[in-house]
Amino acid sequence: MTHANEVILSREIHAKPVASDFAVQPVSLADINDGEVLVRIIYLSLDPYVGSALRGRHMTPQPQPGDVVPGYGLGQVIASKADGFAVGDYVAGETGWRDHAIVPALAMRKVDPTAAPLSTQIGATGMPGLTAYASMNHLAAVQPGDHVLVSSAAGPVGGTCGQIARILGATNVVGIAGSDEKCALVRDEYGFDACINYKNADWKEQLAAVLPQGINVYHDNVGGELLDTALLNLADYGRVVLCGLASQYHADERPAGPNPGIFIVKRAKVMGLVVYDFLDEQQDVTAKIGEWIAEGKLHFVEDRVTGLDQAPVLFEKLMLGENIGKAIVAVAAESV
Ligand SMILES: NC(=O)c1ccc[n+]([C@@H]2O[C@H](COP(=O)([O-])OP(=O)(O)OC[C@H]3O[C@@H](n4cnc5c(N)ncnc54)[C@H](OP(=O)(O)O)[C@@H]3O)[C@@H](O)[C@H]2O)c1
């Protein structure tokens, strides 16, 4: 294997990224050094944080024009000079948008392909699943009796959050999403009790109507007006997990924020979530969510394209909020 393909950033980004900001280019693969593995990427995860990173608005370094787009990949080792990593092993980690990657083995996590369907290990049972599990199980500690609200509920984090809340015994699980089609998915596939399309004019009244006794747990992926509205409907001693700020990642100006006074009046606990704090649990959580999938208790949906050259188009869709389910690029067959 000497040739591969990669997707680079073709120019500086000053607005929400579009497909034409990227270019696919062929590349010659170098020899691998001691401690490195050559990975055949099978699945590439497209994530909202990459859009922020491209604009220098994330905790990870800002890529420059000509750099390979950062991203999380899952694949199979096809050459190894690292102890403990054999040809055929499945691994996941930061690979960039490539079809083959030479990476330090220690930066990769070994993946058990039998723990859960392989593609979910970058979705519902992978980093997004870990984020959802940390939120619902550790930070919000959802219990029977809780009325739970989740925004971006059709996405891999939100959809998994609501389903885990249900598994933990929540009484009422409500989602917020940006279209009727997404809301149908949230109710019918993910089994939420209700889902409100925040693009409807009367969505705030609809939300209050399905949560009349207030919100015990709110998992926020969006910030801005959705967060503000959820806080106004918080029950006493409500727990709020701040996880994402999708409404602000590409805004030119910071929108008027929620009133933090509400946290005081409601004696609310607000918790920031950084999934990296939970990485040592990834293996266990993959196995646990994998079991829930196998038992039919938890469902996953993928917005999938085939071929590395399709990554920019699906990424543009993700940036526009038009993805339905986990945005994933199938780069190669699961087995050769
Ligand atoms: N804190 C952490 O450690 C951590 C870890 C992982 C993910 N996250 C965050 O969790 C959130 C969900 O991630 P995910 O992977 O499950 O992705 P996702 O839900 O598929 O993310 C994209 C969705 O964001 C929503 N969105 C809301 N406002 C938007 C706007 N103004 N422009 C574009 N999209 C908008 C859209 O859904 P609607 O149509 O429903 O609006 C869109 O489909 C993201 O904000 C992500 O950054 C945080």
Neighbours of 92 (CB within 10 A): 25
208 within a domain of the structure (yes/no) = yes
Residue 247 alpha carbon, nearest atom of ligand 1: 31
Q: What is the CATH number of the domain that holds 85?
A: 3.90.180.10
Closest residue by Cα to residue 249 from 50, 32, 3? 50
**Residue to mutate (ligand 1; options 139, 157, 240, 304; most atoms within 8 A of CB):** 157
User: Is 246 found in the same domain as 320?
Assistant: no
User: Is 253 found in the same domain as 226?
Assistant: yes
In which band, very low, low, confident or very high, does the pLDDT at 336 lie, cut at 50, 70 and 90? confident
User: Is 19 found in the same domain as 83?
Assistant: yes
User: Is 267 found in the same domain as 174?
Assistant: yes
User: Is 17 found in the same domain as 133?
Assistant: no
User: Is 271 found in the same domain as 146?
Assistant: yes
pLDDT above 70: residue 255: no
- Average pLDDT of the residues in 205-218: 98
| Residue 269: per-residue pLDDT | 84
User: Is 261 found in the same domain as 164?
Assistant: yes
Residue 152 alpha carbon, nearest atom of ligand 1: 40
- Average pLDDT of the residues in 204-223: 96
**Residue to mutate (ligand 1; options 52, 58, 152; most atoms within 8 A of CB):** 152
User: Which residue, by CA, sits nearest to atom 42 of ligand 1?
Assistant: 321
- Average pLDDT of the residues in 33-38: 98
- Tell me the pLDDT tens digit for each residue of 300-323: 999 999 999 999 999 999 999 999
CA of 305 to the centre of ligand 1 (A): 19
CA of 244 to the centre of ligand 1 (A): 6
Rounded Cα distance, 146 and 136, in Å = 11
Using the 8-state DSSP alphabet, how is residue 256 labeled? P
Residue 322 alpha carbon, nearest atom of ligand 1: 43
Secondary structure E strands in 129-254: 147-150, 172-177, 194-197, 215-220, 234-242
Low-confidence winner among 16-25, 50-59, 106-115, 121-130 (lowest mean pLDDT): 50-59
| Residue 110: per-residue pLDDT | 96
- Tell me the pLDDT tens digit for each residue of 138-162: 999 999 999 999 999 999 999 999 9
Residue 274 alpha carbon, nearest atom of ligand 1: 3
140 within a domain of the structure (yes/no) = yes
**Residue to mutate (ligand 1; options 45, 150, 221; most atoms within 8 A of CB):** 221
Residue 273 alpha carbon, nearest atom of ligand 1: 1
| Residue 1: per-residue pLDDT | 60
In angstroms, the Cα distances linking 122 to 86, 236, 261 are 21, 36, 38
Beta strands 215-220 and 234-242, pairing class = parallel
- Average pLDDT of the residues in 79-86: 97
Task: Out of 239, 259, 276, pick the residue that ends a domain.
Answer: 276
Q: What pTM does this model have?
A: 0.91
Residue 242 alpha carbon, nearest atom of ligand 1: 1
User: Is 316 found in the same domain as 247?
Assistant: no
Tokens 């967060």: give the residue.
Answer: 227
In which band, very low, low, confident or very high, does the pLDDT at 260 lie, cut at 50, 70 and 90? low
| Residue 81: per-residue pLDDT | 98
User: Is 8 found in the same domain as 71?
Assistant: yes
Ligand 1-lining residues (CB < 6 angstroms):
47-49, 128, 131, 152, 154-158, 177-178, 182, 221-222, 243-244, 246-247, 273-275, 318, 321, 323
User: Is 137 found in the same domain as 80?
Assistant: no
User: Is 240 found in the same domain as 201?
Assistant: yes
pLDDT more than 90, % of the chain: 86
User: Is 242 found in the same domain as 156?
Assistant: yes
Domain of residue 56 covers 3-118+301-330
pLDDT above 90: residue 29: yes
Q: What is the CATH number of the domain that holds 248?
A: 3.40.50.720
CA 69 to chain centre: 17
Is residue 118 within 8 Å of residue 74, measured between CB atoms? Answer: yes
CA of 291 to the centre of ligand 1 (A): 25
User: Which residue, by CA, sits nearest to atom 10 of ligand 1?
Assistant: 244
Residue 157 alpha carbon, nearest atom of ligand 1: 16
pLDDT above 80: residue 257: no
Q: Which is more confidently placed, 255 or 336? A: 336
User: Which residue, by CA, sits nearest to atom 41 of ligand 1?
Assistant: 178
What phi and psi values does residue 28 have, to the nearest 5 degrees?
A: -90, 135
In the chain, the number of structural domains is 2
- Average pLDDT of the residues in 96-122: 97
